[in-house]
Chains A and B, each alone.
Chain A
Amino acid sequence: MFDLLMRSRKFKIGAAVVLAIILFGIIGSLLTPDPLAYSSQYVQPPSSQHLLGTGNFGEDVLAQLCTGTRNSLMIGALAGGFATLIAVLIGGIGPYKGGVLDEISNAFTNVVMVFPMLPLLILLSSIMRGGSMLLVAGLIGATSWPWAARSIRSQVLTLKERGFIDVARMSGMKDRIIVLREIMPNMLAYIIVVFVVSLSIAVLTEAGLSMIGLGPDLSSNVTLGTMLYWVLNNTHTALPWTLWWNFIPPGLLLTVFLVAVFAMHAGMDEVFNPRLRSV
């Protein structure tokens, strides 16, 4: 599966950029000073001392960007993993087992597809705002899985009809073994890409929630979204939109990240979607 994916140019480029951003977050946050170290040099434009200038409390924006990237990706990974897990359970077990279980899982996915999940998420996080990053990740994961469940469901439905599954079943293999040995290896690449896309949606959602102050606790956490929050709620100018060095970096980084994931997703479509297959 992965050698197939690697043949797609879109997937390769996208994956390289995503990897670079992950490394930037992890290594950068080790090399830069404390992102919450306050000083009296408020909202200074970029200089040789602070490559990306300083923020609302005189913190180094570059340090915030590195740690923010790491934290945003961490929340994204947790939320994306949680969403993928729910999606695999709901979108995978139902159609595999068939019968009533399939009916239930299908009806359930249909309901949640049109369910106002984003308003529900905003409602939940406004009531529980100021929590930990883990809580925010949990809330985002719990409300962002419907599309993933549907795509895993359709994938399992086609996989189930393949001959080798029938052979395995007729040879008396247990369901558990069939799922682990026959289905999982064929689904793994697909599930991983579902996870990556879920992760990117979660990163986007977290930054949006944090920007309006509904993300993790603002005084002890730095994410790409809280950086945007302190632009809108800064205490130094009535025109926060002139503080470009404060809001262009996190937004641009998010954009590059999301476009890279989009490229990965498009590359995956070339491989998995028979309608678009070109590699």
Chain B
Amino acid sequence: MLKRLSSVLKRLYNMLKRLFAHPFVRFVGKKTAFYLIVAIIALTFIFLVPRLMPGDPIDRMIPPGTTDAGRLRLRAELERYFGLDKPLLEQYLSFWANLLGGNLGLNSNFRPVATVVMEKLPFTLVLVMPVLLIGFFVGNWIGARAAYIKGKVSETLYFTSVFASQMPFYWFALVLVSILAVYIPIFPTSGTFSARFMPGLNFATFADASRHYVLPFLTLLIITTGGWATGMRSMTLYELDSGYILYGKQLGFRNKKLASYARRNAILPQFTGLNINLNNLIGMTMIIEIVFRWDGIGLLAYQAVLSQDYAMILGTFLVTMIVVILGNFLVDIAYAFLDPRIRTGRG
């Protein structure tokens, strides 16, 4: 019995060892550990920020005009309620226990923060994901084209994409609304649904939300596409200038074939830029949501800030940070999958 168990364990061990000998698995394992550490640091920040900040959140909860004795009593009561009378380490441990149990506390309307945040998260993701993917493909396509066509068209394309990528996105939102919603009223100016519209699970809801979706989506898409296009253009130009392309030219390869080689080599460094782009995009989306009153996490966080709802503020930022870290992790894994040296394990 014991012998069989030990042989099973040994086989399992060998299997795992073989598995981890594969570079792709090892890469994923390494990245998992790395991002777990990043997540722990980020969430510790969330725990520390309200405790290290100047200004006392408890103080703000006590209504003005309370007597000094009442103030002291209320203070003690509130500190006990929020668990702030316990030692810091115990607070930290219970913070993690609550977090892993999906408990983010109650907001000022006594609704669970986790529920409210999860209701709004899809509205943010529906902006971020398509912009990230479409912007990446369209921008890189434009950039690669701009690199190997010559003359006026290429120049115009380049300057347009530089302008698009450098414009302040929040200002571009104002310009877009003033043109496409006010002077030529095609789209609604802001909001997620029309006023006095009862959202439900039907086509009318979808159609109404789509009309509101177009402008914030376009704003983010144009800005990110411009960024990818300028980056891709300079990467492709560099590749077109390198030895293997010149050699290919002398061997008589077709230009189209050479362009595809250059494109494939230029796209890999672009992929590593996806991480930074995702981080920026999430921050941009938060601000764009506020400008357009789009009902996502950014607007939720903003409203929580205005009403000084601490549990809500921390909850929204906590979820945002988890989304950023998870997104970065997925981008890294996708990168490993695309880089044949890591995927096949033959470097």
Provide the bound-state CA to CA distance between A247 and B173, in Å. Answer: 11
A86 close to chain B: CB less than 8 A? no
Whether A115 pairs with B38 at a CB distance below 8 angstroms is yes
B contacts with A: majority SS = helix
Provide the bound-state CA to CA distance between A200 and B325, in Å. Answer: 26
How many residue pairs bridge A and B at CB < 8 Å?
Answer: 137
Whether B162 pairs with A251 at a CB distance below 8 angstroms is no
8 Å CB contacts to A: which residues of B248-302? 275-276, 279-280, 282-284, 286-287, 290-291, 301-302
Number of interface residues of B (CB under 8 A): 53
Provide the bound-state CA to CA distance between A207 and B170, in Å. Answer: 9
A: interface residue count bin? 35 or more
B236 close to chain A: CB less than 8 A? no
Whether B37 pairs with A111 at a CB distance below 8 angstroms is yes
Tell me how far the C-beta of B165 lies from the nearest C-beta in chain A, rounded to whole angstroms: 8
B82 close to chain A: CB less than 8 A? no
Whether A126 pairs with B168 at a CB distance below 8 angstroms is no
A117 close to chain B: CB less than 8 A? yes
Provide the bound-state CA to CA distance between A259 and B53, in Å. Answer: 36
B92 close to chain A: CB less than 8 A? no
Q: Which of A52-60, A174-182, A185-193, A236-244 contacts B (4 or more CB under 8 A)?
A: A236-244
Give 1 or 0 for each of B227-263: 1 = CB within 8 Å of chain A CB. 0000000100010000000000000000000000000
Q: Which of B21-29, B136-144, B174-182 contacts A (4 or more CB under 8 A)?
A: B174-182
Q: Which of B8-16, B73-81, B96-104, B316-324 contacts A (4 or more CB under 8 A)?
A: B316-324
A contacts with B: majority SS = helix
A116 close to chain B: CB less than 8 A? yes
Whether B287 pairs with A228 at a CB distance below 8 angstroms is no
8 Å CB contacts to B: which residues of A98-146? 110-111, 113-124, 126-129
What residues of chain B lie closer than 8 Å to A239, measured between beta carbons?
Answer: 182, 189
The answer, among B54, B177, B279, for a CB contact under 8 Å with A116, is B279
The answer, among A110, A119, A123, A147, for a CB contact under 8 Å with B324, is A119
Provide the bound-state CA to CA distance between A269 and B275, in Å. Answer: 22
- A selection of 25 A-B contacts at a CB cut-off of 8 Å is A111-B34, A111-B37, A111-B38, A111-B41, A114-B325, A114-B328, A118-B283, A118-B284, A119-B282, A119-B324, A120-B45, A122-B287, A126-B313, A127-B55, A207-B170, A208-B287, A211-B287, A214-B305, A239-B189, A241-B177, A241-B181, A251-B174, A251-B175, A255-B166, A262-B162
Given known contacts A120-B321, A208-B287, A254-B171, what 16 new A-B pairs fall within 8 Å (CB)?
A114-B35, A119-B286, A122-B287, A126-B302, A126-B305, A127-B50, A127-B313, A128-B55, A207-B170, A208-B170, A212-B291, A228-B170, A228-B171, A251-B175, A254-B168, A259-B166
Q: Which 7 A-B pairs have the closest CB atoms?
A: A118-B283, A251-B171, A241-B178, A116-B324, A126-B305, A258-B166, A114-B328
